Amino acid sequence: MVALRVGLTLVLALGALLVLSPFLVVLCTSGWPPGTLPTQLLPPQGWTWQSYQAAWQQGHFILAFVNSTFVALAVTALQLVTSALAGYALARLSFPGQRFILLLILATLVIPFQLLVIPIFLILKAAHLINTYGALILPTAANGFGVFLMRQFFLTLPVALEEAALLDGATRWQVLWHILLPLSRPALVTLFIFTFIGEWNDLFKPLVFTTKPELMTVQLSLANFQEQFTNDWPLMMAAAVIATVPVMILFILGQRQLIRGIATTGLKS
């Protein structure tokens, strides 16, 4: 039994090392001075912060962090609201076409966002939202994955809790707000983390729907470090580390709720 645990620990440690090895290479490369070509893993003169200082200044990361944080939080808040309401309706209410609507929502998961970019662009242009925060927020204000996740979690909660509240005179809104949502914290945190990280790492929407420098996001700032013929690898790797730190902190803070949310969201139909 002890040998099995030791062997399992070694296998998991090896797997973790393989997963983290690209990030370790990025971290080591970012320690070289800017403008140098790394010829080995660690710089011979020692690890330095010069590339981080240069990347922070050249990338205008303060503005990019503010824009990305605002957009990610706004999209996440809207998805939490829309997913909770739609998920509750599909899980608890009975109405004609309920199954068809659920299948239609699930079908949207297989449609890449890039296929919808032209009609979305035309709609945003007609609404005069191009080069605004609305163009970065509204196209992803609702998501099929979030609706399905919340529906599946609501199905795992006992119906008796709602029935008791309804018998006591509570409305559907009160049941959802005071009973189901507090119990759905793991699913809400899971959706929050997935949505925030997805929006933080999104390059497509800012690239297509905005041209103003004041709307630059973190991913657009990273793209500006890539040159056509040559690349300053220490500078690019330092910028990548700077852009990764916020989402890493978010994941570390919410990993317990994330694991619980995934584990308790079954496939009950």
Give per-residue pLDDT as tens, 137-196. Answer: 999 999 999 999 999 999 988 888 888 888 888 888 888 888 899 988 889 999 999 999
Angle formed at CA 136 by CA 131 and CA 141, multiple of 5 degrees: 145
Name all contacts of 161-165 with Cβ < 8 Å and 24+ positions apart: 162/92
Predicted confidence at residue 194, as pLDDT, reads: 92
* CATH assignment of 61-264, among 1.10.3720.10, 3.40.50.2300, 3.40.1390.20, 3.50.50.60: 1.10.3720.10
Average pLDDT score over residue span 201-225: 91
Q: Evaluate the CA torsion angle 179, 185, 187, 188 in order and state its sign.
A: positive
Predicted confidence at residue 252, as pLDDT, reads: 84
Question: Which band of pLDDT confidence, cut at 50, 70 and 90, is reported for residue 230?
Answer: low
Predicted confidence at residue 42, as pLDDT, reads: 79
Residue burial 101-135, b: 16+ Cβ < 10 Å; e: rest: ebeebeeeeeeeeeeeeeebbeebeeeebbebebb
Q: What are the backbone angles phi and psi of residue 198, rounded to the nearest 5°?
A: -65, -40
Does residue 217 register a pLDDT over 90? yes
Give per-residue pLDDT as tens, 52-62. Answer: 998 898 888 99
Q: Are 84 and 188 in contact (CB under 8 A)?
A: yes
Q: Average per-residue pLDDT in the chain?
A: 88
- Tell me the three state secondary structure of residue 30: coil
Does residue 254 register a pLDDT over 90? no
Q: Are 96 and 161 in contact (CB under 8 A)?
A: no
Q: What is the value of pTM for the model shown? A: 0.87
Give per-residue pLDDT as tens, 64-81. Answer: 999 999 999 999 999 999
Count, in order, helices (H) and strands (E) of the chain. Answer: 14, 0
